[in-house]
Chain A
Amino acid sequence: MTSSDGNLLEVKNLRTHFDTEDGVVKAVDDISFQLKRGETLGIVGESGSGKSVTNLSIIRLVPDPPGKIVSGEVIFNGSDLLLLPNDAIRKIRGRRIAMIFQDPMTSLNPFMKISKQLMEMTQLHLGHSKAQAYDHAVRMLETVGIPDARGRADSYPHEFSGGMRQRVMIAMALSCEPELLIADEPTTALDVTIQAQILELIKKLKRETGTSVILITHDLGVVAGMTDHVIVMYAGKIFEQARTAELFSTPGNPYTKGLLRSVPDPTDEQGKLYQIPGLPPDMAHLKPGCPFAARCDYAQDICRREFPPFVKLNQDHHSLCHFAREVYTESGGTPVEA
């Protein structure tokens, strides 16, 4: 049961605001994107960009207070998640949409055996009996590559290393065979060699089960290797949206360009590293105009006065910028007719 154009998830005009001591922070300010079945969407952004809050909003885990989903639609498989009653959403969480978080240390209950935590999922959502759930749990642990799964299933989280714990998280997330997996910085806290393993694992499981994935990260390398589409977020807004290959070869937004240039390229001998000047904006006191204007190499007067338009550069490629077409052309792209 999908909507007519094969989209598993459609987010429309999502707005999530937080009430803080300094004022209202529009953590997510009018976001719209789609995710097709079987694809991986990457959400890239730095701290304060709103990427994590976007995710939490999709499955309605935004802490309320101080946060609140103010408006918008989140259409998953045809129904709007934001309109569902609480118990309906709880049935979906874990069963059809699963989430894994950044810190494997704190995401698992330290007082419960791993097997029990896995069993809880399937007993609750799939109605397994104890024995069925246990077998399923062991099989999941094997699938995610835990050595000696049967022997270690009854261990506690602290007996596993960080990488192993993240694998357990993935096992938990996938145990009910969800249609959508949301991974919020799943490898940021891990060593780089373990990160490589975990990312390979996610890729493999995706191939085998056809799960769609939303991957949130700040690491452009991870995005390049794992995703089909990318969204770049800044100050609660989508600054650029494109197919991954397109975004990296012909970016259409100064922020994206700046990000790409400021990552040191190990294969290249570089002199000085390009840096985006200035600081991220104070979300509680945003100025009129484009939130990136103060730091942008291309900024002109209009950028400081008027909020930029969301320009369509190509099929599946949009950029929020007054000079999107120019930037895109400079990168080597050919924009479609307006």
Chain B
Amino acid sequence: MSANESTLLSIRDLKVHFDLGGGGPLDKLFGTNTVKRVVKAVDGVSIDIYKGETLGLVGESGCGKSTLGRAILRLTEPTSGQVFYHDRDLAHLSSRQLREQRRHLQIIFQDPYASLNPRMTVGQIVGEPLETFRLARGREAEQRVQELLETVGLNKRFIKRYPHEFSGGQRQRIGIARALAVDPDFIVADEPISALDVSIQAQIMNLLERLRREKNLTYLFISHDLRAIRHVSDRVAVMYLGKLVEIADAKTIYHEPLMPYTKALISAVPVPDPQVEATRQRIMLEGDVPSPINPPTGCRFHTRCPYAIEACKEVVPQLVEIKPAHFAACIRISSAQPHIEDVAPGAAPGLE
């Protein structure tokens, strides 16, 4: 599904580093935490998000995808980098200016139980953004809230009910209604279905898709669930330990991934078909996901990559357009030699 190619958000070299302390003179004296520990949750991410598309962001735990989503909205403060929305750099706006912009950029959270204030009624929760931005009051606000609830599939008569009286899927719908209240352009959906039952996941995915069409929304859909990502996204970006390693459209990512990590990720997803499961050849990764505190040097994946060579430890690979609209960050492939299995052992065509 091709999107309108105008860019809605432009993220440039975004970094979010958390300082865990250590390495100071007192620490050295007492022998604790002698090394300065920094969690490089997001370490130099650059990507454009096009108007009207759903960009899927996939990765495993600790890769920084949730942090990236929140940093774009400045719910977590970026350490450096820029986030351009309509020519304004969100990362460097004053808090007052930022608050004005918040109208256009909203978020849906993973946990339907923690993302709603248990002491407020549904009507109050969904109506609060209207109040904050002075979009409607009184009778008009109430009507708008009712409309929003109906849009997301909830009976408007339950407007005075409290969150704990709803199921997980319904609460997620309330969260979506709240995000829609201010008529945003862009929504970060941070693992919106992970906490839901399988039969409800499909409902929410369909709902999000319908809303996108009806309201011309743009989504950043963050998830670790490859199947969901594949289904909802136009393009997919794969993240590993704070960096983007591959970007392509959804079909290509699944059928023709270039990066060893992406291949392993796809291979690891269990398929609900016993024959396929019995006969497939899995790419098994050795070892654990390294810690984002002081991550590996060079290419962060080199510790687990079946194709790693010496150079991989030293060079930090850049995202390069290997095929049209298909980016990958690996020194062992290039546009001339895109398939890593065919590259001669020890060779690094990406370096030339």
Contact = CB atoms under 8 A, between A and B. Distances in A.
Direct interface between A and B, CB < 8 A: yes
Interface of A: 46-47, 147, 161-164, 191-197, 199-200, 218-225, 244-245, 248, 258-260, 262-267, 269-270, 272-277, 279-280
**Residue among B230, B275, B284 with the highest chain A CB neighbour number at 10 A:** B230
B270 A193 contact: no
A326 B224 CA distance: 38
A270 B287 CA distance: 34
Contact of A224 (B60, B206, B251, B271): B271
Contacts of B200: 279
Contacts of B115: none
A167 to B, nearest CB: 10
Contact of A266 (B199, B205, B254): B254
A152 to B, nearest CB: 13
B277 A221 contact: yes
23 contacts: A46-B198, A191-B60, A192-B224, A192-B268, A193-B289, A196-B268, A219-B270, A221-B271, A224-B270, A225-B277, A245-B275, A248-B272, A248-B273, A248-B274, A259-B198, A259-B199, A263-B227, A263-B272, A265-B272, A266-B230, A266-B231, A275-B199, A276-B202
Contact of A193 (B60, B206, B227, B272): B60
A266 B202 contact: no
Nearest to B269: A192
B163 interface: no
B285 interface: yes
Contacts of A219: 270
B265 A193 contact: yes
A161 B272 contact: no
Contacts of B170: 279
A48 B40 CA distance: 39
B197 interface: yes
A161 B199 contact: no
Interface string B269-300: 11111111110001011011100000000000
Contact of B198 (A224, A225, A263): A263
A248 B273 CA distance: 7
Contact of A262 (B201, B268, B274, B282): B201
Given A192-B226, A262-B199, 4 more contacts: A225-B271, A263-B198, A272-B206, A280-B197
B288 A267 contact: no
A225 B273 CA distance: 8
Contact of B264 (A193, A221, A222, A259): A193
Contacts of B224: 191-192
A74 B348 CA distance: 61
A46 B205 contact: no
B159 interface: no
Contacts of B272: 220-221, 223-224, 248, 260, 263, 265
A192 B288 CA distance: 11
Given A197-B285, A200-B284, A270-B231, A275 B202 contact: yes
Contacts of B288: 161, 163-164, 194
Q: Which 7 A-B pairs have the closest CB atoms?
A: A221-B270, A225-B277, A275-B202, A264-B231, A191-B60, A196-B268, A220-B272
Contacts of A262: 198-199, 201-202
B269 A225 contact: no
A194 B270 contact: no
A279 B173 CA distance: 13
**Residue among B227, B264, B269, B277 with the highest chain A CB neighbour number at 10 A:** B277
A229 B98 CA distance: 56
A16 B352 CA distance: 67
Nearest to B288: A161
A296 B301 CA distance: 46
B167 interface: yes
B234 to A, nearest CB: 13
Contacts of A195: 268, 270
B189 to A, nearest CB: 15
B76 interface: no
